[in-house]
Amino acid sequence: MAANLKSIDAPTAAGMQASGALLVDVREDSEYATAHIAGSELIPLSRFEARELPVADGQAVVYFCASGNRTRVHAARLAAKAGAADAYVMEGGINAWAQAGLPIE
């Protein structure tokens, strides 16, 4: 994992989202349509560089995918996109979120 991307678990990510962190789903449109975390921002890896990250000054960013594999493989891209923001990766992705009993739409 890139030095400025910290790993967190799903319950921690949920708490951070409740405190104002931006959750960024890097899965593709079809995956997001099937199930997603309410309030998360969809920025698929296939179009990642073309999209701006809608992060406010001082806002933390939490990236996630389906299982955590894509976020691990693309950690450098994710860290670069976060810039100066505190950036995190949710281990286990949306699958871990669901296993923790957190709501999915």
Annotated catalytic residue, options 65, 79, 82, 96: 65
85 an active-site residue?
no
In DSSP terms, 64 is beta-bridged to: 25
Asked if residue 54 lies in contact with residue 15, where contact means CB atoms within 8 angstroms, the answer is no
E strand map for 32-86: 41-42, 61-64
Contacts of 29 (CB under 8 A, 6+ apart): 42, 44
CA distances from 15 to 23, 81, 85, 88, 97 (A): 11, 22, 17, 13, 12
Q: Which residues are catalytic?
A: 65
